[in-house]
Structure 1
Amino acid sequence: MSTSGVSRILGVVLAGGRSSRMGHCKAELAHPRGGTFLRHAISELLRCCDKVSVSLNADQAGMIDELIDTEHHSIVTLIDQIDQRGPAEGLRLAIEYAVANSCTGVLVIPVDLPFLPAHELQVLADTFGDQPDQIVTAVSEETPTRIEPLVAIYPVALQKPIECLVSSDDRSLYRFIERYPHQTVRLSAHALTNVNHPTQWPLIHTDE
């Protein structure tokens, strides 16, 4: 967590995906270390961010008490106001909340990365602290030329462009990042292993 008082980072778990390939809400999946995918992601962000929130879709609004336990009662939920806008809408709401709470950047992670640890996210946070006017995005050590737009820190100064992105027909965060100054940080391929389909379930139960 930042202690310099210069860069305050809001951590956001993007958990509002429809999970159509998985066939089950990924936020509720059992994590091999106990709890759920969502609770694990929250715990890791709490170790490296100044504030933490969760982005959900409108259908999940009635499930908040089930998804987020009382241990994490201080976690703010951000419910999509515009349907079918993908992670761009979650990012838009997160930046809006970050601005209101004097944060300088928003660190987003998807809920389906069960092996992404706080110490690797801290590398992104430290890099952002050095140049808080630029996007900082992860890349896998195995594919260093491909950015990971859902494991990235977005400066709140990009609030207006993000709002325009949500309203556009092309809401690709990948292409959005390519249009703006950004830095990349290499993370382990293991940390960036995601879970999209039930056939990957054995991986989750046997890997550490």
Structure 2
Amino acid sequence: MVTILPRKRQNIPAVILAGGRATRMGGRNKALLTLGGETLLQHVITRLRDQCGEIALNANADPDLFADYGLTVLPDTFPGFPGPLAGILAGMAWARAQGADAFVSVSVDTPFLPLDLVHRLREAAGRHGIALAASSDETGRMRDHPTCGLWPVALHDDLALALESGLLRPGQYAAAHDPGRAVFDSRPVDPFLNLNTPADLSAAARVL
């Protein structure tokens, strides 16, 4: 069942990144895969909806597939399926059109997102306005999660130039702009656990 989105508590918009080809999932549409009876997209909406303003979906599939969710669907504005950085660029353009000065991006394959993600990212913003989520792995090493971040719309043209130059990794782009970091506890489950393969989906079902 699709949940109708209620009025949001905060006005910063969010974009769910689902524009990839999901090759390790056999090309299946990640957003519409089910976990515990709900699609991954619905899980992410549920985690986000009380944290932010309007939510949009970056997707390159037929928008009609997502009609029941009531989200604005943003295809990549940069050609060739270059990855999540193109989705972030599309999100910047959309958020700027909403009159926002920044937006939060998350990946559609992260169904356990923190319920205070948006607040923590805003508090952690670096001097250029970027903040990334981070958590520790099983060895205690800190890892950034660049698809879960805060992005100022003022960087739109700069990011477009970076993509045109061949830069594709969100973390690499963020690193050049002195990002802040919002560090989250990864116990008992890393909230940024992402589902790239059918085995990951099965493991997440056991966690759920």
Write the mapping of 1:7-156 to structure 2, written as runs, cut at 5 A: 8-23=11-26, 24-32=28-36, 34-57=37-60, 60=61, 62=62, 64-69=63-68, 72-73=69-70, 75-81=71-77, 82-128=79-125, 133-142=128-137, 145-156=142-153
| Equivalent pair of 1:38/1:67 in contact (CA under 8 Å) | no
Work out the number of aligned pairs and report it.
194
| Equivalent pair of 2:110/2:194 in contact (CA under 8 Å) | yes
SS at 1:146 equivalent: strand
Alignment match, 2:4: none
- When normalised by structure 2's length, the TM-score is 0.84
Give, in angstroms, the shift of residue 150 of structure 1. 0.4
| Equivalent pair of 2:124/2:181 in contact (CA under 8 Å) | no
Q: Deviations for 1:74-131, whole angstroms, at most 9, x for unmatched residues?
A: x211012322221121111111111111111121111111111332343223444xx6
| Equivalent pair of 2:12/2:54 in contact (CA under 8 Å) | yes
- When normalised by structure 1's length, the TM-score is 0.84
SS at 2:25 equivalent: coil
Structure 2 spans left out of the alignment, 5+ residues: 1-7
Fraction of identical pairs, as percent: 26
| Equivalent pair of 1:53/1:78 in contact (CA under 8 Å) | yes
| Equivalent pair of 1:132/1:155 in contact (CA under 8 Å) | no
Write the mapping of 1:161-200 to structure 2, written as runs, cut at 5 A: 161-189=158-186, 190-200=190-200
CA distance in 2 between counterparts of 1:50 and 1:44 reads: 13
CA-atom RMSD in angstroms: 2.1
| Equivalent pair of 2:16/2:107 in contact (CA under 8 Å) | yes
Structure 1 spans left out of the alignment, 5+ residues: none
